[in-house]
Amino acid sequence: MKKIILTTVLFLFPLLAQAAASKDQIKLVEYFLKTPTKNLNPDMVPDFLSVGEKNLPQRLRRGYVSKVMELYGLRKTAEGEKQGFVRTPDNSSSSCREFHVKKGLRMYSSVFSKDLVKGKSISEIVRMLRLGHFSRLSSQYLPCLQKRTQCTEQDMVCAFTLSVLSVKKGKGRRNYYFIYDKDPLGVIYSLCERPNVGGNTNFFGERPGVLCSH
């Protein structure tokens, strides 16, 4: 599993291939979709990523993009694990700034490339996220999550896998929050959702499990 994550970190890139997928590429994609991620041959990851969604038959596109999104989540999580529990987010990085998806829809994430979601509807992106093992967070618990981790919302986007879909609603906007299932922020979020689970004992003691340092 560790080797897969490291390979993903080294070789993940925007999907820019233009030619229709060959028979061998289709077989490769089918192998990736049928095989649990932990059992994948990591040496095949670069070839899988180079295929490109639009070059595949329609029947494979949804699963392909979802697997790519899962690999993106693994990459970001692996990068964070190298830093340990205390993170120093680089909030100046262009990789964690909001970008335009389509009219009225923006995304704020350091996990995905713009090319992966450009032009898609919110329902398409949400479906891709869920299939890629991203769970939706309630904005109700974000203040608690920020307090426990000492991370701002932007910190969580830059240093973790928090991804925000921002939809225009009248004169304002509505935000939808998602996080990769293996992100350590998920454990702390669950404490915010269910503060009484396990009695009065905080699993992490008096301090949160991950912190942001500035």
The ranges assigned to domains in the chain are 1-83, 84-214
pLDDT at 198: 52
Residue 6 contacts by C-beta under 8 Å, 6 or more apart in sequence? 42, 78
Beta-sheet pairing, 105-108 with 134-137: unpaired
20: DSSP letter: P
CA distance 100 to 108: 9
Please tell me the distance from the alpha carbon of residue 47 to that of residue 29, in angstroms, as a whole number. 9
**Nearby residues of 93 by Cβ (< 8 Å), 6 or more positions away:** 110, 158
pLDDT of residue 206 exceeding 80, the answer is no
What would the mean pLDDT of 169-188 be, rounded to a whole number? Answer: 92
39 vs 139: CA distance, rounded Å: 35
pLDDT tens-place string over residues 97-122: 888 899 999 999 988 877 778 888 99
Q: Is the pLDDT of residue 17 over 50?
A: no
Look at residue 24 in the predicted model and tell me its pLDDT.
95
Classify strands 163-169 and 105-108 as parallel, antiparallel or unpaired: antiparallel
51, 64 Cβ separation under 8 angstroms: yes
Pairwise pLDDT comparison (75 vs 10), residue with the higher score? 75
> What's the rounded mean pLDDT across residues 184-192?
91
Closest listed residue to residue 38, CA positions, set 79, 67, 80: 67
- Residue 134 has a pLDDT of 94
Predicted confidence band of residue 192 (pLDDT cuts 50, 70, 90): very high
pLDDT at 3: 52
pTM across the whole model: 0.78
Q: Is the pLDDT of residue 82 over 70?
A: yes
- For the chain, first and last CA: distance in Å? 32
